[in-house]
């Protein structure tokens, strides 16, 4: 027995422990108030001792937990909603156990403070009780009836960073800016409705920690893709906790807008072996994927990878999804989604897919994969289940290449028609079409820069996507030249019109509808203020153009997944397409039946113009 183990044992005997009845039903991990007591359960299969740590006016009180197979449990009277708790665990030092570390419950639903990186979090033997957030015993709540899903494939998804979206919004009260609650503000909802949004996709909202290299650079993680607690909302985004999220979702649903969450299950913020010990690392270190030599597999490029070959890791992910689905969330986008199906290689028949499909709650929600990671064979576009949607970076790059001038019209037509080369010629396409996203250039920067400008990230401009498909129209960065500005505006409108005229689901990143720029930074994860949208300086003419595109799309056949067989393709002289004309053309005319009318989409690269005609004419040229 180690010294730490003995210390925990002595404290446990002095305080006493309360046994939870054996063999609990599935789903009982976490803290569960029952009448005048709370039942705690945590998984720590390789620990030799686990202590429940309760925090109050008298400081830290420790309760020794009782092992039941892979779980440790305690049933403590006098503890209820609002009380603060954490865990300490001891076990083999070679596995990384350290009883000096306060650990966050992987099933925590709320935390009393955000995570803040400190080097002591990764130093063995240093007590971290004052550095680590405490979990809050939740208020029991009965599931609301699962609301029907509002968002359907083919709709318009609007991706946004919760903090950056409203930090500069002049109509949102200052104390509410940057929070989830701000998304329910009438002025914000009016914007969503004005541009025709069907669902907002929130970049990560669960509690995250900054990467350890950011602090010395004076930077912070602005995106949240470094989570620690998979169910607990980050207090900076949701000071009102779960109630804030539930109320916001309800208000948005009343306005006809669904909510999709970006989930990061591929890794945790505990980083590599020199990283902080915060939760899973101190309780269940084998939850991370290990190579035969004991090193951590890093298929996520962040220092560690969660091991979805282990059933309990899948269960944690599934329980997290159910938790948010029952709050009214309509769908989930999975960051670096191949990790979910690795054990260690990608398996299209991975158990996680079957579990989601069989789940009575999750099977009714939208699932969206970012279908790549950096592991072996990690690019899996088109390989996810038929019921899933997938981010289509081939669409992004091919549409950009066409308008840059180095890709033929046939490839563009394949993307506009739903990428059947990737997803098959079925009645529906699983493609999520986008021109830009949070990761990469902002749309305005695509036509204003010929390469990345990430010097502010402190990595000598080596980070971010090196092969960005972009062009600057003659000058790198901002320009006062009227001709350059006109060409850039024409390019932006042509890209947007192509996007909204394409078969599949549309995704637009917040601010691209009114000309946001990141100054050429294509990896702005650590640039907080750079991600704040400029609401007073926005391009309202471009915003109105996007609103018209969305309205035409909603009224037309683009969201109808069955239009492919009815599409009539012509050259720019409106002659039927032939193989030779496909090879020679710099554009095409696409005609689609729309009831008694015909919708015509004309794409002309020579004129830098997209024209959509129904009863009214909508041109991309300003």
Question: Could you say which DSSP state residue 386 is in?
Answer: T
Dump the DSSP string for 30-57. EEEEETTEEEEEEE-TT-SEEEEEEEET
Q: What is the DSSP pairing of strand 505-509 with strand 568-570? A: unpaired
Closest CA to 453 of 523, 396, 531, 516: 523
Q: Where are the alpha helices (DSSP H) in 340-427?
A: 351-358, 393-404, 409-416, 420-423
335 counts as catalytic = yes
> How much of the chain is in helix, strand and coil states, percent to nearest 5?
30, 20, 50
- Return all residues near 413 (Cβ < 8 A) that are at least 6 apart: 569, 582, 588, 590
Sign of the alpha-carbon dihedral angle for 127, 130, 133, 134: positive
Under a CB-based contact definition with an 8 Å cutoff, are residues 558 and 154 in contact?
A: yes
- Rounded Cα distance, 546 and 618, in Å: 11
**Out of 90, 98, 201, 370, which one is annotated catalytic?**
370
Half-sphere exposure of 601 (CA within 13 A, CB side): 26
- Long-range CB pairs of 544-547 (<8 Å, 24+ gap) are 545/493, 545/496, 545/620, 546/195, 546/496, 546/500, 546/508, 546/513, 546/514, 547/194, 547/195, 547/196
Helices and strands, number each (H, E), in the chain: 14, 21
Q: Which of 453, 449, 473, 472 has its CA nearest to residue 462?
A: 453
What is the CB neighbour count within 10 angstroms for residue 580?
A: 9
CA 472, distance to chain mean position in Å, is 29
Paired strand residues for 261: 202, 332
Report in angstroms the alpha-carbon separations of 476 from 14, 435, 470, 516. 69, 20, 11, 16
Q: How far apart are CA 398 and CA 434, in angstroms?
A: 11
Burial degree of 492 (CB within 10 A; 0-12, 13-18, 19+): buried
468 catalytic residue (yes or no): no
Q: Where are the alpha helices (DSSP H) in 511-560?
A: 540-555
Cα dihedral sign for 150, 234, 368, 501?
A: positive
Residues forming a β-bridge with 58: none
| Cis-peptide, bond into residue 344, ω within 30° of zero | yes
Q: Among the options 234, 335, 513, 571, which is catalytic?
A: 335
**C-alpha–C-alpha distance, residues 196 and 348, integer Å:** 35
- 10 Å CB burial of residue 55 (0-12, 13-18, 19+) is middle
Instruction: Indicate which residues carry an active-site annotation.
Output: 335, 370
């Amino acid at each position: 027995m180690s010294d730490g183990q003995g210390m925990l044992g002595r404290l446990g005997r002095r305080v006493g422990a309360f046994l939870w009845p054996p063999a609990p039903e599935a789903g009982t991990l976490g803290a569960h108030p029952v009448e005048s007591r709370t039942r705690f359960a945590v998984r720590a299969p390789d620990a030799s001792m686990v202590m429940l740590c309760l925090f109050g006016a008298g400081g830290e009180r420790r309760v020794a937990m009782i092992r039941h197979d892979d779980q440790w449990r305690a049933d403590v009277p006098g503890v209820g909603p609002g009380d603060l708790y954490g865990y300490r665990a001891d076990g083999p030092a070679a596995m990384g156990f350290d009883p000096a570390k306060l650990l966050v419950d992987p099933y925590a639903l709320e935390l009393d403070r955000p995570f803040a990186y400190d080097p002591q979090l990764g130093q063995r033997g240093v007590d971290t009780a004052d550095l680590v957030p405490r979990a809050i015993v939740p208020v029991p709540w009965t599931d609301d009836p699962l609301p029907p899903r509002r968002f359907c494939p083919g709709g318009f998804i609007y991706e946004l960073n919760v903090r950056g979206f409203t930090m500069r919004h002049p109509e949102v009260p200052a104390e509410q800016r940057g929070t989830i609650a701000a998304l329910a503000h009438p002025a914000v909802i009016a914007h969503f409705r004005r541009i025709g949004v069907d669902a907002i996709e929130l970049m990560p909202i669960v509690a995250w920690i900054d990467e350890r290299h950011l602090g010395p650079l004076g930077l912070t993680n602005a995106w949240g893709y470094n989570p620690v607690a998979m169910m607990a909302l980050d207090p900076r985004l949701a000071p009102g906790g779960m109630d804030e999220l539930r109320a916001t979702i309800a208000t948005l649903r009343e306005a006809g807008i669904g909510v999709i969450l970006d989930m990061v299950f591929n890794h945790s913020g505990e980083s590599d072996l020199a990283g902080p010990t915060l939760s899973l690392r101190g309780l269940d270190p084998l939850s991370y994927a290990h190579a035969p030599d004991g090193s951590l597999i890093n298929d996520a490029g962040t220092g560690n990878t969660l091991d979805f070959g282990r059933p309990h890791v899948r269960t944690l992910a599934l329980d997290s999804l159910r938790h948010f689905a029952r709050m009214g969330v309509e769908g989930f986008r999975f960051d670096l989604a191949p990790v979910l199906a690795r054990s260690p290689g990608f398996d299209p028949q991975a158990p996680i897919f079957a579990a989601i499909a069989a789940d009575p709650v999750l099977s009714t929600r939208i699932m969206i994969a970012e279908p790549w990671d950096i592991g072996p064979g990690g690019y899996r576009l088109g390989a996810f289940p038929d019921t899933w949607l997938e981010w289509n970076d081939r669409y992004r790059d091919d549409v950009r290449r066409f308008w840059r001038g180095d890709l033929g019209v046939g490839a563009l037509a394949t993307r506009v028609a739903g990428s059947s080369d990737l997803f098959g010629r079925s009645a529906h396409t699983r493609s999520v079409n986008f021109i830009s996203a949070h990761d990469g250039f902002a749309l305005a920067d695509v036509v204003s820069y010929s390469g990345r400008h990430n010097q502010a990230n402190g990595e000598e401009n080596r980070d971010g996507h090196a092969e960005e498909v972009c062009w600057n129209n003659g000058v790198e960065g901002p320009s006062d030249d009227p001709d350059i500005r006109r060409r850039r505006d024409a390019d932006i409108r042509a890209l947007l019109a192509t996007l909204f005229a394409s078969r599949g689901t549309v995704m637009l990143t917040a601010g691209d509808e009114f000309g946001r720029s990141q100054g050429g930074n294509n990896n702005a994860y650590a640039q907080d203020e750079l991600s704040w949208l400029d609401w007073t300086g926005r391009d309202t003419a471009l915003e109105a153009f996007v609103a018209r595109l969305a309205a035409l799309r909603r009224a037309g056949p683009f969201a109808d997944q069955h239009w492919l067989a009815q599409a009539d393709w012509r050259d720019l002289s409106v002659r039927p397409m032939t193989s030779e004309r496909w090879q020679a053309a710099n554009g095409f005319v696409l005609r689609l039946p729309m009831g008694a009318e015909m919708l015509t989409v004309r794409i002309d690269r020579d004129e830098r113009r997209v024209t959509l005609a129904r009863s009214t004419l909508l041109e991309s040229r300003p």
